[in-house]
Structures are given as structure tokens and as C-alpha cells.
Structure 1
Amino acid sequence: MRVNRISRARSRTAVGLSVAALAVGATTAAGPAVAQSKAAPAAAPACSTAYKIEQKLSTGTTWRMCWHYESEAGLVLENISYQPKGEAQPIKVLTSAKLGQIHVPYDDGKAEYDDLTGAGFGQGLMKMAPGECPGGTIKTVKIPNAWDPQHPNVNGLCTTTRSRGHAYRMEADTGNKVFQTQGKDLLIYTVNKVGWYEYISEWRFQDDGTINMNIGATGSLSPGDYDAGDGRGWPIGTGAKAYATSHSHNVFWRLDFGLDGSSKNKVEQYDSVVSPPRNGNEGPTNKTTRTKVTKELAGDAQNMRWWRVVSDTGKNKDNHARSYEIVPGATTKYLGRPFTKHDVYFTEYKQCEQFATNNLLNCGAGAGKSVDKYVNGQTLTHPIVWVNVGFHHIARDEDQQPMPVHWQGFSLAPRDVTAMNPLTPPELANQNGHVENGS
């Protein structure tokens, strides 16, 4: 779904605005988190009321954060904290979270775009109608260095809540009662138009502490891209005359963790290996090993491999270090460029490294412009996490008109953030650990 050339040509005039846009965004954003003592509570969001989001869900969990808007990256969420019932203070999770790039190469090799830093993603914020934000509030966003300076303000940021179905279900031991709760989420999203694309950037904060980050692509198939042949396109419409060109959507997210208010988080990788039965065992064995990631890493998802970011200062009530696990979503890895060949990157914090490709800020002589170049052996003391999720879009008749949303994304799952399920009913609050032994 290639965007129209007029929009692309226009975007080139905005390239020089990035540094200014980041500076504008910084006026409503807090700086990097400062390490706190273990006894110190997580700081409240440092922003004015207009840029603050606070939502207590009906199940008792409260999410708090600040937001601002950047010229290229669009919506940025900052100082994100999570407070389930039973926790006296908010638990700081992320210092900042935003899109790092949307890279769109076409299968015929004739076009390749960086939609954030080369095509005006942030400038394309769309006005939402009330029906697009059911039960919620649409906030006004001022676009920095707006291409249309007469209309910089757009009613384009939705915050709302939504049910997601069962959070859990368990029949009591006595068989005469069922414990169940319907989960609730805080949703925050924008719609950004890039030519024929319309991207829905969704951030979903669950009442159990999980964070879901998704991009939904919708809009129209580009009417100028029906010139592909077999193997590089798909016939759309009557017969087999017009082939819509296939392409990839490689979406990057940039995450700056600040667990428990400290930027000094640790990264760990876990791998499990299944071995055949031996020593008279009935089944195979499975052993999981931990590897501490102490230096910058370009990581590849493999079977039974996962990563977590671990707090350096905070522990839950069971005395276990708080952490968040990175849970990749479905992906189609694009092997055409070095920066898309890996699923996750852990890099040492550097203020100028803001975009995964076509980075517009000056990082000095010889510095790379893409995330693969940021990985150069530095020790991780303040890790930045970049997650890459790809989707190969081979169009179909059902993609017109308009095109149904196709989603791609990943999750951050709490691991030992609380001592028990934060939605545990009071009747089961004593069932922590080895219940049979009463421990």
C-alpha cells in the first residue's frame, strides 16, 4: 500500500525539524529517571494536568503516566506507573515508550520508506470523531512545527477503558463456587495518516500489570501500485490484470525502562533445552538456563527463548526482584536490511539515538544511523530496549475498500512485580506459595 508521491515529496521538507520537535516535546516531559533508594516510593508523573493520564480501573488497578507529542515519532508516553490494589505506592515501570520507526520496503525493490523520519508520520495526526473513542475522552494535541501552522491543534488522542474478557476463572476446591473476574484495560491511541496508510497506534494497559503495544494498519491500498507481477504482487479486482505490490511493515518500538524509579535495570536472557528421556524417566527433560546480558546485544527470538528487564532496586513482598518479560507477537522477519534482521536490541542509553532507522539526530562523527549500528559493545548500565515486529503484506480482495485493520505488536508481562495475582479475591489472599504445606 504505497503512499502517494505528493505526500512523500512534502515529507522531505520536514526532515530538519526533528531536533526542534524533540526539544518541544521535552517541555512537557520528565528527564531520565534517577535511581532511588529501595525505601523510596515511585515518583508521581512530573507533568501538568493537561499532559497527565490517570485511570483507576473498576478492578482496583490504577495506571498513571504523562504524555507529549513529537514531530516525527508522534505520541510519547512517560513516567508510566502501575498500582494494583494492595500496593501502597505506584510501581514505576517505564521512563518513556514510543515508536522507533515504521520501515516499509516494497517487494519489487522500487520503493522503501521510513514512515516516521521520512514521511511525516507525526504530522499526519488525524482528528477523531466521538464514536472512535467510545466511553472515553479525546484530548487535543498540538503538533510541534506543524506543516499547517494555522491548524496545529488536533483532537486526536483517545483515552478510554475496555473489557477484555476473563482475567481468570477457577473453581473452588469445594466445587460449590467459581472465582472469576472480567479484566479491564486502559486504552490510549492515536490515528496517523501517511499517504494511503492510516496507522492506529494503540497502547493497552491491563489491570493485571501487562502492557500491550500494537500498530494497526488500515486505510486504502495505493491506487498507483497495481503494476507488480506474479511473485511480487496479488491480483486485486476482476481477473488477473492488476497486481497490488506486496510490501513489508517493519515496526520498531523504543522503550526506556525505569523499574522502581531507577534507570539502572538489568537484562537477562533465558533459554530452555529439551533432552530425550533418560535414567528411566517416562518423558523428556527440559532445563532452563539464565544468561546475564551485560553488553549491548542484537537478539534473535528462538524456540523457548525469552528476555526480561529486572529492577536493580525494587522487590515484591516475596523478596523477589521485580521485572518485566518481553513477549513478542507474531512476526515476519524481513532479512533485506541489517537493522531488520534481529527481533530485539538492547543498547546503552544515548540521547541522540531516537530512531531505529534513518536517525535524524547527530550522534557525532562516524556514528551509525540505525539501531544495528548502535550495538557496538558498550556495557549496559542504562539499557534501552528496541523491539522489531514485522508483517509481510500480500494484499487480498478483502483489503478494499476500506482496508480492514491488520495488527502487529508485542507485550510486556509483569514477572514478580507483585507477590500474587494483583486481582486475587480476598478469600484466596492467603494462598501464596506452597499452599499444601502452609508456606
Structure 2
Amino acid sequence: MHVTHLNRVRRARKRPALLLSDLAVTALLGTALATAPAATAAPRKEPAAAAPACSAAYRIEQTLDGGTTWRMCWHYNTLSGLVLDDISYQPKSEPKPIPVLTSARLAQVHVPYDDGENEYDDITGTDFGLALQNLKPAECPGGTIKTVKVPDMGDIQGLCTTTRARGHAYRLNDDGSTGGSGKVYSAQGKDLLVYTVNKASWYEYITEWRFTSDGTITSNVGATGSLSPYDYKGTDGKGWPLGKGATAYAESHSHNVFWRLNFGLDGSPKAKVEQYDSKVTAPHGSGSPTTRTTRTPVTKELAGDVQDMRWWRVVSTAGKNQDGHPRSYEFVPGRSSAFPGRSFTRHDVYFTEYKKCEQYASDNPSAHCSGTSVDKWVDGQTLTHPITWVNIGFHHIARDEDQQPMPVHWQGFSLAPRDVTAMNPLTPADLAGQNGVPRNGS
């Protein structure tokens, strides 16, 4: 779904040789900053601030059903596209916003074709960032389309912020037969959605961020657009027949999407990383299976692999919830097909110590980093300011339904709050006293 390799190489030569920190890098790369230079250079506000430190045009604030408020800034990078900054979360029970992420964005879309003839880095090797698409009002139902100033491209009506129903937020039948009130507690939820559409040759990528009333953050990339006319081959056995008969075969390929997350839990970049593994032991005789869960502190840089009953969390070192438990966010990866063909795509998550030149998971433009891909940066450093890289892969074997246009196929992950609040942030007022051991009905 791409143009010829020669065109990709020519485009790649436009890249600069040096990258700076999360915000400073944008100016050097020809980025449309979300705030004026003076505001960007200013120190960040304390966690108690009611609004992010950016101008109103680049601020997103939404209160959802149940009283949860999300706040963040945004700016635009001409390589990676949309960047979200200073993301905070304030449930109705919290007196001030809880900072979660300092920055969050795409870090690469790596697309190798099955025949080995073409391989692309769509973020750094195409006009992905420059090819931001104008959105029509119907593409942002019930929301607002914000103007994005893209260098050399002008003003693009390209950023949608809206809300969308997601079904049940919770349901509880407080059964009167066991001493409960007999009430049914139920609520429907809405999410805040923030998204853009960028074109990379024949593909169009929808970059979506979803923020829920219970504190969950989900990011998905949806690939749509068109199958590339350059990648139809009938004899190499690497594709799927499309059209009449079996003369044209759309070439199979992979999409390996990377995200870069810089946490700032409770306003501090310093955090701990932990890995949890659970092991199930088969029952003895007429007994039941037992499960043991172990926690492993991740103190050094890590290239991690998803396994059954394994997960990671990033833990605050600067704050605790009202129960006295450290706040954290847990990684919940979506379905993924790991691509073993490159060293940087073999792992599902990376934790690296912050270094300002390490900005893209592959084809990193900086000449001052030790290697040009994220796997080369896992070299044993102690983690004090961890950067998280998430890799979700999809092997695309085309089908007749992929034309024309191609339906969206999604890949992504979630960040689930773990002990960010002392109770469900949507707890109804008359259940607020049920914190700890649940009532046993007596």
C-alpha cells in the first residue's frame, strides 16, 4: 500500500539529523507547536493547577458523565503527527487534577512486505506528519474540529475532539435478600475521543486516543484508505487473490505500530516499573488449582514480552491515593502479532531510561544516539525516569472486502488505572462508605 521504494528514500532525506526533548524537538523538526515559544519554555505548573499550561486553542478539557474531568494540551509534530502533553485526570472525589502523562504519541509505523522487497517506516520515512487530512463535520459527530497549523501546508481542520457512548460503566444489584438496599445501581458511560487522520501513500491512519470516566486511557491506530496498485503480484505466493479469478494477488505485509509514553504520575517524571507473573498449579486429588502471583521490580532497562498472566505497571514515586496506596497505571495490550524479522519488533514493550535523542522506535533520525532503534537503547541503565514504548503488530493478509475503500482495522492498547483512586471514581454517593471488605449481608 505504498509508493515505490525510491520515492520513500527521497522523502526520508528531508529528515533533520538531531532530535531534542519532547517539546523542544518539535521546533527543530518544523513542528507546529501547541503553545507560543515562551509558554513552551516555561516550567510546568504544580499538580494543583486547574488547567494545563497551554493557550486555550491548544487545550482540551472535558467533564464526562459521573463527574470525571480530563485535561491536556496538544501540539503537532511534522513527523509523528498529534502529540498530547500534560494529561491529567480528576475524578469527582479528588480535590485537584492527578497528572498522568507528560507526553504521549506515535513513535513509528513499521511496514515490511512479505516478499522482502519493500520495507517502510511510515512515521519517519514518508510525509505522514505533513499529510494531515481535513476532517468534515460528519467525521467528528457531536464534537469540535480544531485547526492545526502544519508548516508548508497551511491551516488544516484536522483534530477532532468529541464524546462517544460506550455502554455500561457499571451495574450492581444490591440484593435485598442478603441485607442490601434492593436497589439496582447502573450507569452508562461516555468517553472523550481525540483523533486525527494522516495519509501515508495509499494508507490513511486514524490515530485515536480515548479517555474514560473511570480513568482508563486507550490508544488505537486504525489503518484504512486503499490497497496499493504497486503491490499486486500473481506468482510469488506472498499475497491473496483479489478481483476476478486468480491473476492479481495483493501482497501481504505487517503493520508494527509503536507508541512512546512519558509518564508524569503525580507531577514527577521519576517512577518505578514492576512486572507481575502468575503461575497456576494443577489440583492435587479432589482439590482445586492454585495460583501464585509474583512481583518483580524492573530496576534496569527492559525489553519485555507479553505472556499469559503477565503484566506491567508504572508506579508513582510522588503520590498515593486516599487509602495510602501508590498510584500506578497498568498496561493492557490489545491483540498483537509479533514480527520477528527485525530486532526492534521482536518485543512487545520496552522500558528505557529517558534520553532526549531517543524519539522514534526505528529509523531514529538523531546521529547522537547509540543506535537508531529502541532495542539498541536497552543497555542496562538504571531506570529512574522510564520511557515506555509499546509495540502492537498486525499481519495484514488482504481480502476481497479490502476494496474499495478498505475497512478500518484497529490495533492498540490500554492503560488501566490501578490504585489511582481509593474507590471506583464513579461510586454512587450512598455506596461511598463501602470501602474495604464488602458488606457480607448480615
With structure 2 as the length reference, what TM-score do the two structures score?
0.92
Hey, what's the Cα distance between the residues in 2 that align with 1:22 and 1:378? 29
Structure 2 residue 259 is the aligned partner of structure 1 residue 253: yes
Aligned residue in 2 for 1:268: 274
Q: How does 1:124-273 map to 2 (within 5 A)?
A: 124-143=131-150, 146=151, 149=152, 151-174=153-176, 176-229=182-235, 231-273=237-279
Give, in angstroms, the shift of residue 131 of structure 1: 0.4
Structure 2 residue 123 is the aligned partner of structure 1 residue 107: no
Deviations 1:249-300 (A, max 9, x none): 000000000000001110000000111224x662111000000000000000
Give, in angstroms, the shift of residue 228 of structure 1: 4.9
Hey, what's the Cα distance between the residues in 2 that align with 1:224 and 1:199? 19
Residue 126 to residue 51, structure 1, CA distance change in 2 (3 Å): same
Q: Structure 1: where are the runs of 5+ without partners?
A: none
Hey, what's the Cα distance between the residues in 1 that align with 2:206 and 2:6? 22
Q: How does 1:389-400 map to 2 (within 5 A)?
A: 389-400=392-403
Give, in angstroms, the shift of residue 21 of structure 1: 4.1
Give, in angstroms, the shift of residue 173 of structure 1: 1.7
Structure 2 residue 394 is the aligned partner of structure 1 residue 383: no
Structure 2 residue 288 is the aligned partner of structure 1 residue 286: no
Hey, what's the Cα distance between the residues in 1 that align with 2:371 and 2:6? 29
Q: How does 1:327-342 map to 2 (within 5 A)?
A: 327-342=332-347
Would you say the 8 A contact 2:17–2:366 is kept in 1? no
Structure 2 residue 307 is the aligned partner of structure 1 residue 302: yes
Residue 31 to residue 268, structure 1, CA distance change in 2 (3 Å): farther
Aligned residue in 1 for 2:79: 72
Would you say the 8 A contact 1:14–1:120 is kept in 2? no
Would you say the 8 A contact 2:256–2:391 is kept in 1? yes
Q: Structure 2: where are the runs of 5+ without partners?
A: 20-24
Hey, what's the Cα distance between the residues in 1 that align with 2:263 and 2:216? 14
Deviations 1:306-350 (A, max 9, x none): 000000011111111100000000000000000000000000001
Aligned residue in 2 for 1:348: 353
Would you say the 8 A contact 2:234–2:247 is kept in 1? no
Deviations 1:116-137 (A, max 9, x none): 1111210110000010000101
Residue 188 to residue 295, structure 1, CA distance change in 2 (3 Å): same
Hey, what's the Cα distance between the residues in 2 that align with 1:33 and 1:304? 40
Aligned residue in 1 for 2:22: none
Aligned residue in 2 for 1:403: 406
Give, in angstroms, the shift of residue 153 of structure 1: 1.4
Aligned residue in 2 for 1:11: 11
SS of residue paired to 1:140: strand
Which amino acid in the other structure matches residue 247 of structure 1? H
Aligned residue in 2 for 1:59: 66
Q: How does 1:14-29 map to 2 (within 5 A)?
A: 14-16=14-16, 19=19, 21-23=26-28, 24=31, 28=35
Would you say the 8 A contact 1:33–1:258 is kept in 2? no
% of aligned pairs identical? 65
Which amino acid in the other structure matches residue 384 of structure 1? I
Would you say the 8 A contact 1:32–1:95 is kept in 2? no
Give, in angstroms, the shift of residue 414 of structure 1: 0.2
Give, in angstroms, the shift of residue 46 of structure 1: 1.2
- What RMSD, in angstroms, separates the aligned Cα atoms of the two structures? 2.2
SS of residue paired to 2:306: coil
SS of residue paired to 1:60: coil
Hey, what's the Cα distance between the residues in 2 that align with 1:11 and 1:430? 60
Give, in angstroms, the shift of residue 50 of structure 1: 1.1
Deviations 1:333-384 (A, max 9, x none): 00000000000000000111000000012325xx110000010100000000
Which amino acid in the other structure matches residue 79 of structure 1? D
Which amino acid in the other structure matches residue 321 of structure 2? N
